[in-house]
Amino acid sequence: MTTSSRDSIDNKIKALGIGRFQVMALLQCARYYVLNRDIDRAKSFGLNRAVFYAWAKHYGSDRRRRFIDIEEEIRRSIVKGVKPIKCPEGYVEELGECVKKSERGFYTMNDVEQTPYDYNQQIVNKINRLINYDKIWSIALDYLSKFPEWVLKDPVKFYKYVYEPVRDVFFQRILVEGRIDPSKNIVERIESMEKMMEKTRSKQKSIIDFTKDGFEK
């Protein structure tokens, strides 16, 4: 593809107002769905997390300052690679993230529900103007399938290895290549971590077996 063609795609995406917000919502929705198989909650979670990571730019008014301080503290910790040790009062832990839920079980920000309908309006309809959403959804699920479950369950690793590397090129690469895959560097880092985890588990097992044998004697 020529440079002019790529520029044309970039300009079209920007003109439609599609960017990181839609990438985050889509991938968080797919993440939740892969782990829980509940599409309505997945849409609510996906939109909620997109609002969560984008609020500093869009929701910075003084009347929401107390809410912003709490959310920003959590957001910064995840972006920096530090998982919050404990969720603040009024929050529950969901996939390792601190969230608020309504009585109906949907996720909320500043006491406003993010519903499946809202997701469809803000994410599905917008993406459909660029490319068929069902196709994008299938590609997103395939992309997440390339990552082990322990990466998807951890908000820090999900942000660093799944979302961040593709947040500015997700739709561009799909339009050009028809798919999106983790970079070789990311795959190698994850495989390296898995080997370290396996070694740790083996050592722990050896210690348990040694202790067990000691007691049996």
Please check whether residues 122 and 200 belong to one and the same domain. Answer: no
Q: In what order do the strands lie in the sheet with 112-114?
A: 92-94, 97-101, 107-109, 112-114
Beta bridge partners of 101: 107
Please check whether residues 26 and 59 belong to one and the same domain. Answer: yes
> Which pLDDT score, from 0 to 100, does residue 61 have?
45
Please check whether residues 176 and 206 belong to one and the same domain. Answer: no
CA 195 – CA 188 distance, rounded (Å) = 11
CA 53 – CA 72 distance, rounded (Å) = 9
pLDDT tens by residue, the chain, 217 residues = 677 778 899 999 999 999 999 999 999 999 999 999 999 999 999 999 999 888 755 554 444 444 445 566 666 666 676 665 678 888 888 998 889 999 999 999 888 999 999 999 999 999 999 999 999 999 999 999 999 999 999 988 999 999 999 999 999 999 999 999 999 999 999 999 999 888 887 776 655 565 556 555 5
User: Domain count of the chain?
Assistant: 2
pLDDT digits (tens, 9 = 90+) for 134-176: 999 999 999 999 999 999 999 889 999 999 999 999 999 999 9
Please check whether residues 168 and 150 belong to one and the same domain. Answer: yes
Please check whether residues 171 and 204 belong to one and the same domain. Answer: no
Please check whether residues 56 and 147 belong to one and the same domain. Answer: yes
Instruction: State which residues form the domain around 128.
Output: 3-180
Please check whether residues 120 and 191 belong to one and the same domain. Answer: no
Crossing angle of helices 133-144 and 20-36, in 10° steps, is 60
